[in-house]
Structure 1
């Protein structure tokens, strides 16, 4: 048996040596049939391109165009990246958001306030203040105007400490699917994926979908190539999502097939290990 292995190994080594020798011989041959002219030190130097050039010279095989570029050279394709809205834009307040209001030298009217279902906050001295669909700067101006009745030159600071009114959803083959609380009026697919976790190995990243619900029941579906966005940096795939949108990352066909076969194969594998017979019902 050892002699047979030794014989097979010897034949393989000899065959590989013959192939390498043949490759070197073929590489050294000149199939063009042209003779490369040798430079003559006594002959005058050639002038500009086109004067005295040999058309059979293999070094002049590629002709140049009027701009000096090779005719076979491909011009790099320009990529037009459309403008898109960044997610960290101004944030308009809504139900469930939490505001922290601080009035300088007046801790008795400073604190945190939750926006109720009516879009108001219940603030001391001035009563209900409508803050829905307003920015924090607009709320600051409203409070300063109303507090001026009770306080001389009030200095008000408004901060958003709880973002709860605007939500998007990321489902499918990602690290942590679920809902994402937005910190702006819009959010991009890239930022949503960074918060929900990168796609899993089972994800079909070329077939992502952004689903926007509609009042008539017909959802608008936009395709997004997550692979181009994350790994090629194609910002054209960085779609903008609004509150209520859903980003769906589907699974590959192989992953779906394995999930169907796994419950069937599991009892068979268990039976094979124990030597028992399992009735599958088929």
Structure 2
């Protein structure tokens, strides 16, 4: 067969089957010119859910995002029943009214902390006439009752007051993207997650406030301060304990990737208040009107990994499809909230895919034409 005829046959075959046209296209993600995959290779299982973006889907997603309760009955109950437990190194001030000689030695001009009673390594303090008192793990009210009972044998109806002059035994650790990383002391005032971050100057501008990590007794949980601050979901706020570790990561990884037929494909940092699909497209200088297919705007979202009965991984993903051929589509895009690591892809128009195919095919036609000329000359 003549080489030119062979090239023409290839051209006709390519025209009849647009799925072999090279270039990115969501409708043919699995089509390739040839397959060089090793025979022993087993592709990972995938579970992809396809969801069109419409008013019904947006209403459902918004309802899911706002389903957290606004109140926090568990936190309120924990705060109302909170009592500080005395620890090692704390300094107590024990006052017996009408008996100043028991409180501050004569001729001394020391402050409450300097003149107080430090809880020793064995958990005890010493007080005149009361002797050695084991106070570790007790509340100030319980220590008051203990001192009153001991002094009753030497003082008639003693009036006792016990306070913690210096809280040194308990603390939480705040690290990461906060103004002043460091230690927040646990005192007789209940300390919540929000309080601890505020004590350290608040969040930095580059804080990933949707993924704050709290580690307690070796277990870590993720807490979203975004839903707390934006929606008043106080269920995300908790009462802290001694030894808790709070880490606020940076938002460097909280990016959105805008690819395909946009004027400036790029990775965008996630906005502090959230980013919508319309905002992401606008940040990429909009779609390329001469090349893009407005009917094919996709959001690819990785939703995690599950396991089958043989413990093999199954990668799950959701693909949201927006038809923005009309202005209504962009109105929907403005209501569709993106999440970190989402991939926004704008499909090329059919003519764009065809032109790209021709740009790759023409060099081959030219080469075959030259081969034909050589054969004719011979």
TM range (shorter): 0.5 to 0.7
CA distance in 2, matches of 1:240, 1:223: 15
- Aligned Cα RMSD in Å? 2.6
Structure that is richer in strand per residue: 2
Match of 2:101 in 1: 108
- Residues in 2 aligned to 1:231 and 1:96: alpha-carbon distance in whole angstroms: 40
Paired with 1:163 and 1:128, the residues of 2 have a C-alpha distance of 21
| Residue 128 (structure 2) pairs with residue 129 (structure 1) | no
Counterpart mapping for 1:6-155 below 5 A: 79-80=68-69, 81-85=71-75, 86-87=78-79, 89-111=82-104, 112-155=116-159
Q: Aligned equivalents of 1:195 and 1:153: distance in 2?
A: 42
- Equivalent positions of 1:180-199 (< 5 A) are 180-184=184-188, 187-199=191-203
Change (3 A) 1:93 1:108: same
Moved more, 237-246 or 129-138: 237-246
Shift of 1:126: 2.5
Would the alpha carbon gap of residues 102 and 184 (structure 1) be closer, same or farther in structure 2, given more than 3 Å must change? closer
Residues of 1 paired with 2:79 and 2:168: CA distance? Answer: 16
The alignment partner of 1:138 has SS state of helix
Q: Deviations over 1:199-226 (max 9, x none)?
A: 101111111100113xxxxx20110112
8 Å Cα contact 1:170/1:180 also seen in 2 = yes
Residue deviations 1:221-276 (CA, integer Å, cap 9, x gap) = 11011222234321011133211010100012179xxxxxxxxxxxxxxxxxxxxx
Picking from 208, 216, 230, the partner of 1:204 is: 208
Q: Which residue of 1 aligns with 2:307?
A: none
**Counterpart Cα distance in 2 of 1:184 and 1:225:** 26
Distance 1:207 1:78, change over 3 A: closer
Task: Report the alpha carbon displacement of residue 185 of structure 1 after superposing the two structures with TM.
Answer: 8.7
Whether the aligned pair in 2 keeps the contact of 1:190 and 1:230 (CA below 8 Å) is no
Q: Which runs of 5+ in 2 are unaligned?
A: 1-58, 105-115, 255-378
Residue 183 of structure 2 corresponds to 179
Q: Is 2:171 the partner of 1:167?
A: yes
Q: Distance in 2 between matches of 1:139 and 1:250?
A: 41
Do the aligned partners of residues 203 and 210 (structure 1) sit closer, same or farther apart at CA in structure 2, a change above 3 Å counting? same
Mapped to 1, the partners of 2:239 and 2:141 lie a distance apart of 25
Are the counterparts in 2 of residues 166 and 181 from structure 1 also a CA contact under 8 Å?
Answer: yes
Which residue of structure 2 aligns with residue 252 of structure 1?
Answer: 251
Q: Structure 1 unaligned runs (5+)?
A: 1-72, 214-218, 256-282
Structure with the larger RCO, 1 or 2 (CA within 8 Å, 6+ apart): 2
Residue 78 of structure 1: how far off its partner (Å): 6.4
Matched position secondary structure for 1:101: strand
Q: Distance in 1 between matches of 2:68 and 2:185?
A: 33
**Once superposed, which parts of structure 1, at least 4 consecutive aligned residues long, lie more than 6 Å away?**
none
CA distance in 2 between partners of 1:78 and 1:253 (Å): 28
In 2: Cα distance, 1:205 partner to 1:182 partner: 23
Secondary structure in 2 matching 1:141? helix
CA change 1:235–1:169 in 2 (3 A) is same
Question: CA contact under 8 A between 2:186 and 2:241: conserved in structure 1?
Answer: no
Q: Distance in 2 between matches of 1:227 and 1:163?
A: 31
